[in-house]
Amino acid sequence: MADEKDIVICRCEDVTLSKIRELIEKGYTTPDEIKRITRAGMGPCQGRTCRDLIIREIARITGKKIEEIPMTTFRPPIRPIKLGVLAESEDDE
């Protein structure tokens, strides 16, 4: 049986379930904190896969309700844009 520590939660940034559990046990109990430390949710999909799983894990370990856990901040852009594309945009007013 494959080890639980190998379960990949954030596929974009290769963050495992055991890494996330370790951080929650240390007291990092918001998805934003976990994002800053591990980069989970900062890859091409911007958290569409891992965000719900991380919040559920925080809720399970801390005993909090999902709605009591502060949501991550959603900043534009929601998908990666090359810097050159922004620089060349005709809309630079």
Q: Which of 41, 61, 62, 90 binds other proteins (CB under 8 A)?
A: 90
CB 8, CB 15: distance < 8 Å: yes
Map residues 41-80 to x or -, x wherever contact with other proteins holds by CB under 8 A. Answer: -----x-xx--xx------------xx---x--xxxxxx-
d(CA 25, CA 53): 16
Q: Rg (Cα) of the chain, in Å, rounded?
A: 16
d(CA 31, CA 64): 13
Residues engaged in binding other proteins (CB under 8 A): 1-4, 6-9, 11, 17, 46, 48-49, 52-53, 66-67, 71, 74-79, 81-82, 85-86, 88-91, 93
